[in-house]
Amino acid sequence: MVEIRRTLIGIERCPQCGVASPTLTYQSFFTDPYDQASIRPAWFIYRCESCGDLVAAKGEASITSLQSSTVNYLVNYTTYAERIIPEPITIDSNLPERPRTYLSQALSTIHAPDGAVMLAGSAIDAMLKIKGLKDGSVYARIEKAVEDGILTKDMSKWAHAVRLESNKPRHADLDEPHATKEQALLVLEFAKALGDFLFVLPARVAAGVKAAQELSPAET
């Protein structure tokens, strides 16, 4: 859980730049001026000391105390964030070690988009190999994944887009040699979604089925 204090406590990486153990420092707060409740929802704004971008956290606050001395209030009072914007990107522990490592490195280098897209591409490559698709080019293996029912046709289009983005910096593309941060985030989003689809969701379903079986009487 993320604690709303003078700094945000409990966020592993900055949702904006991906830096590990970020220092997110309080800047301001906003609340509904027409809400008369003494305890009401509030948005707290923080600034990342690494990238300078802002992060918003929604929690509850005692408005009378908060307005009188915001900084002192946040030192002495703890509330927990119901929501963070942008939402922090996390890598699920159910993802196999190799793609998980690549994605973690991609997340930590989102401030260097060329490296991030190449690492995300390597994560997808590793996922395909774990699924038994080891022969030929990445293009051929993506197409084979569709034939084998591992990927849908639409997912393969997204996978090809990631492949092409990761190839641009790798081969020093003359027209678009560098990825933008926005492109890197989209590539990382797909690689994470693919990992969830191929590994994380099946693992959670299996865990849920096992738990249900343990709670239910054995069938006779």
Mean pLDDT of 19-42: 83
Could you give the CA distance from residue 141 to residue 121 in angstroms, rounded to a whole number? 13
How much is the pLDDT for 186? 83
Token pair 């639409």: residue: 154
More confident residue, 208 or 129: 129
Q: Is the pLDDT of residue 51 over 90?
A: no
Q: Return mean pLDDT, the chain.
A: 83
Residues in contact with 78: Cβ distance below 8 Å, sequence separation at least 6, in sequence order: 3, 4, 5
Could you give the CA distance from residue 100 to residue 182 in angstroms, rounded to a whole number? 21
Q: Is the pLDDT of residue 20 over 60?
A: yes
Reported as a single tens digit per residue, the pLDDT across 75-116 is: 556 678 899 998 877 788 889 999 999 998 888 888 788 888
**pTM (2 decimals)?**
0.67
Which of 189, 217, 32, 40 is CA-nearest to residue 124?
189
- DSSP letters along 51-75, please? T--EEEEEEEEEHHHHHH-HHHHHH
